[in-house]
A and B are shown apart, each in its own frame.
Chain A
Amino acid sequence: GNSVTQMEGPVTLSEEAFLTINCTYTATGYPSLFWYVQYPGEGLQLLLKATKADDKGSNKGFEATYRKETTSFHLEKGSVQVSDSAVYFCALSEMGRGAQKLVFGQGTRLTINP
């Protein structure tokens, strides 16, 4: 079946550092890819998405490019802030029994120190 693998956390960086969180996937066909963010004690928020190969999703300074050749969707940000501390989930969409479903990676906890 389809699966998503994220880099193991936790990740700790200093403010203004460059961030990369790796995400690779295994899937039949060409699913849509997503990054969700979860702040402490909250639900998940959609951060960005890409629906086809070579698409670049971007939001709040974060970017990720859908790379079909490497089956990857790595999340990047040029200069992180303390407020970016959260858990980040990579996910892909697949069709289940008559409905779209999301397959999530295990999540990567990010801590940004001032």
Chain B
Amino acid sequence: SQTIHQWPATLVQPVGSPLSLECTVEGTSNPNLYWYRQAAGRGLQLLFYSIGIGQISSEVPQNLSASRPQDRQFILSSKKLLLSDSGFYLCACLRGGLTDTQYFGPGTRLTVL
């Protein structure tokens, strides 16, 4: 079965600083990968998803971007963080093949001050 790693686990950044969050997947190839954000006390918002290397779909226009430089690596970035970027960021994976179940990583807690 697949394992999803997210790095770092927690992050405190000042407003205006850059951001790079990393997600890596083991145990599967050619997965679909997803970035979600969970604001405090709220549900999950899909930010980006990717069906392959270099292929990114954006769900919500905002201050963030995503990249997929390798098959099992998905990166979330920002050039200048805003206070509203604070939240819990979750990476998810959908294995290749006939399945419709997404599996989630442990998350990164981002606080922008």
Chain A interface (Cβ within 8 Å of chain B)? 32, 34, 36, 41-46, 49, 51, 89, 93, 96-102, 104-107
Contacts and interface: CB of A to CB of B under 8 A. Distances in A.
A73 B104 CA distance: 21
B78 interface: no
Given A43-B90, A43-B107, A49-B101, A100 B42 contact: no
Interface residues of B, number: 23
Contacts of A102: 46, 92, 102
Given A43-B90, A43-B104, A102-B46, 5 more contacts: A41-B109, A42-B106, A46-B101, A89-B43, A104-B43
B interface: dominant SS: strand
Contacts of A98: 51, 57
Most buried by A among B44, B101, B106: B44
B94 interface: yes
18 contacts: A36-B104, A41-B107, A42-B107, A43-B107, A44-B44, A49-B101, A89-B43, A93-B100, A97-B57, A98-B57, A99-B49, A99-B51, A99-B57, A102-B46, A102-B92, A104-B44, A106-B43, A107-B42
